[in-house]
Structure 1
């Protein structure tokens, strides 16, 4: 399970690769959090803030982007960064989960939106799930 950032004009392009769909969602959340507050999720974390999320989408790719968009919205509403994900139910077009985070004073980078551009959640030749995610900053 990993994320890495790739060059992109005026936006942030992140590649996510993981063994399972659950790991894709966890890794994507961590990558987005790293953009918002560098190193925040690498320090001791107690997850004092819990928010339940329910997302319905047309397919797995849209489910991932819609989940990240919801987590981003909650981050701004709660003035927090979320580092942990607990999936309660996941189907092709449904996600029920809780995200755990902590309040912060200031973001390193503000993300305007999580885009569908280049997003395509597939199994690669190594039998891992992967996709690119473009963040509009």
Structure 2
């Protein structure tokens, strides 16, 4: 799993990679949480917050963006950041997962939206799944 933050004039642009699509979704989740609260998922071993998410979309790329948007909504509602997930069901059009996280008092950064701009899940030259995600801050 790889998370790399790329330059962008106004927003935060992130390249993520994973050996599997599920690993790609986890990389997106961890990368988004690092923006919200730097280093939050690095050393977390105990979780005091959970959320169940079921996201349905029309393709894999939109599913990832919609999943991250749903996780972001749960983060703001529950004041928690979710560092791990247990995938209960996964297909090209649907993901059901239980998220495990840490309660927090405040966020370092506010993400207004997870955007579809530049997002396109594909296999790269290393045969890993990858995409770019842009966060509107």
- Per the alignment, residue 55 of structure 2 pairs with 55
**C-alpha distance after superposition, 1:50-69 (max 9, x if no partner):** 11110110000000000000
2:102 paired with 1:102: yes
Q: How many residues align?
A: 137
Distance 2:5 2:44 in 1: 24
Provide the aligned C-alpha RMSD in A: 0.7
- Per the alignment, residue 46 of structure 1 pairs with 46
- Per the alignment, residue 114 of structure 2 pairs with 114
Stretches of structure 1 that go unaligned for 5 or more consecutive residues are: none
- Per the alignment, residue 9 of structure 1 pairs with 9
Distance 2:103 2:130 in 1: 30
**Matched residue of 2:71: which SS?**
helix
2:67 paired with 1:67: yes
1:86, distance to aligned residue in structure 2 (A): 1.0
Distance 2:7 2:126 in 1: 23
**C-alpha distance after superposition, 1:13-48 (max 9, x if no partner):** 000011111100111100000000001111233122
**Matched residue of 1:76: which SS?**
helix
TM-score by length of 2: 0.97
Distance 2:44 2:74 in 1: 21
Aligned ranges 1:113-132 → 2 under 5 Å: 113-132=113-132
**Matched residue of 1:135: which SS?**
strand
Stretches of structure 2 that go unaligned for 5 or more consecutive residues are: none
TM-score by length of 1: 0.97
